[in-house]
Amino acid sequence: MDEVIDWLGFYNARRLHSTLDYVSPMTFEKNWFAAQQGEAA
């Protein structure tokens, strides 16, 4: 089970995704939410 948790941590936090403009899923989500906040202001 620890291996799965470690892999998910790598996959979501550090692995770069070509479909996300070569950023990690966590970074993409953070940037997306920041952009949404900017549009609402």
Reported as a single tens digit per residue, the pLDDT across 12-36 is 888 899 999 999 999 999 999 999 9
pTM: 0.67
The predicted structure's pLDDT at residue 3? 94
Domain extent at residue 27: 1-39
Dist CA 32 CA 16 (whole Å): 16
The predicted structure's pLDDT at residue 20? 93
Number of domains in the chain: 1
Q: What is the DSSP string of 11-40?
A: HHHT--BGGGTSB-HHHHHHHHHHHHHHHH
Cβ–Cβ under 8 Å, residues 13 and 5 = no
Q: Is the pLDDT of residue 40 over 80?
A: no
The predicted structure's pLDDT at residue 30? 94
